[in-house]
Amino acid sequence: MQQYKTNGRLYLQSEPFLLTRRVSHGFTSRLGGVSHGKIEGLNLGFRVGDNPDDVMENYRLVAEDLGLNLSHTVLAKQTHTDCIRLITPEDMGKGISKPSDIEDTDGLMTNLKGVPLVVFSADCIPLLFLDPEKEVIAAVHAGWRGTLKEIGKKAVAMMEREFDCNPQDILAAIGPGIGPCCFAFGKKDAEIFPPEFVRETSPDKVLVDIWEMNRNQLLDAGLSPKNIDMSGVCTVCQQHQFYSYRTHKEHTGRQGAVIMLR
Ligand SMILES: [Zn+2]
């Protein structure tokens, strides 16, 4: 994944996505926004106690930097589900230019052009998908709960079902989130995770690798290893550049993963 810096803001972009020239996309960081106080920076979360005008200005800056159609941008109220919503023309602008009724939804998918899909996170793993053949995109929020529910794999299955996508054509980008360096659990609590993604660090502590869990699920879903681009950026280690819920608790903003078909 490569860095794109502009006007003091930092984005991560997936090279395979860029090479298709079919989408505008990026994973945002916290650098360079207008939010201030404890959530200073480019906060994209409307529900974290930030001034809504500041959040809207941050969206405007991101839209300008990445070439997005701001008024058609779609957001959901994410609640760690495995629900993925197919975005229709009536949904355009929900959460930005009109109220959103898209609730309990952690994934957005569409084949509509000019409609940016956004998921936000602060340690959770954002996933972006693009099938350049069928011209279908998806944005998915996969925290550890969503990862256990295999939301990434479900997104691929839905692309096959709804749009006849071939998994071999699908590109995926796994964005910045909490890494296997920092995702610590008590040994007992980690029993919910498949053991191959859990590494013991002391008799009662373990580290869990949800990056690799997501990558593994996408391979299971039929994606080619060369088509899965993993940022490898840990939001806890890089907390000066990214919002981190584990680090800042309730006083944290949200970064976004955004994608729009051109
Ligand atoms: Zn880390």
pLDDT band at residue 110, thresholds of 50, 70 and 90?
Answer: very high
Query: 178 CA distance to ligand 1 centroid (A)?
Result: 6
Assign 251 a pLDDT band (cuts: 50, 70, 90).
Answer: confident
Ligand 1 centroid to Cα of residue 211, in Å, is: 11
Please give the DSSP secondary-structure letter assigned to residue 165: -
CA of 233 to the centre of ligand 1 (A): 8
210-220 and 151-163 are packed helices; what angle lies between their axes, rounded to 10 degrees? 30
The predicted pLDDT at position 23 comes to: 98
Ligand 1 midpoint to CA 179 (Å):
5
CB 261 within 8 A of CB 23: yes
CA of 257 to the centre of ligand 1 (A): 19
23 Cα–ligand 1 center, Å? 30
Q: Give the pLDDT confidence score for residue 86 in this predicted structure.
A: 98
How far, in Å, is the centroid of ligand 1 from the Cα of 208? 11
CB 67 within 8 A of CB 88: no
Query: In this predicted structure, what is the pLDDT of residue 104?
Result: 96
| pLDDT on residue 35 | 97
| Per-residue model confidence (pLDDT) at position 137 | 98
pLDDT-above-70 percentage for the chain: 100
Per-residue pLDDT at 248 exceeds 90:
no
The chain-wide mean pLDDT, for the chain, equals 97
Q: Does position 126 have pLDDT exceeding 90, yes or no?
A: yes
Report CA(67)–ligand 1 centroid distance (Å).
31
Average pLDDT over residues 44-63: 96
Q: How far is the CA of 183 from the centre of ligand 1 (A)?
A: 7
Distance 184 CA to ligand 1 centre (A): 10
The pLDDT confidence band at residue 119, using thresholds 50, 70 and 90, is very high
The whole-number pLDDT of residue 235 equals: 98
Looking at residue 68, what is its pLDDT? Answer: 98
Domains of the chain with bracketed CATH: 2-178+228-261 (3.60.140.10)
pLDDT at 249: 85
pLDDT digits (tens, 9 = 90+) for 152-203: 999 999 999 999 999 999 999 999 999 999 999 999 999 999 999 999 999 9
The C-alpha angle with vertex 52 and arms to 46 and 56, in degrees rounded to 5, equals: 85
pLDDT cut 90: percent of the chain above it: 98
Cα 119 to ligand 1 centroid, rounded to whole Å: 21
Output the CA 68–ligand 1 centroid distance in Å.
Answer: 31
pLDDT for 12 beyond 90:
yes
pLDDT in the model for residue 115: 98
Tell me what pLDDT residue 124 has.
Answer: 97
Which residues are within 5 Å of ligand 1 (an ion), measured at CB? 179, 181-182, 234, 236-237
pLDDT the model gives residue 191: 95
**Which SS3 state, helix, strand or coil, does residue 19 take?**
helix
pLDDT over 90 at 217, yes or no? yes
User: Ligand 1 centre from 182 Cα, in Å?
Assistant: 4
Q: What number of CA atoms fall less than 13 Å from residue 124's CA on the CB side?
A: 28
Q: What is the pLDDT of residue 250?
A: 80
pTM for this predicted structure: 0.97
Separation of CA 143 and ligand 1 centre (Å): 15
Chain-centre distance for alpha carbon 76: 12
58-106 pLDDT, tens digit each: 999 999 999 999 999 999 999 999 999 999 999 999 999 999 999 999 9
Q: 88-112 burial, b if ≥16 CB within 10 A, otherwise e?
A: eeebbbbbbeeebebeebbbbbbbb
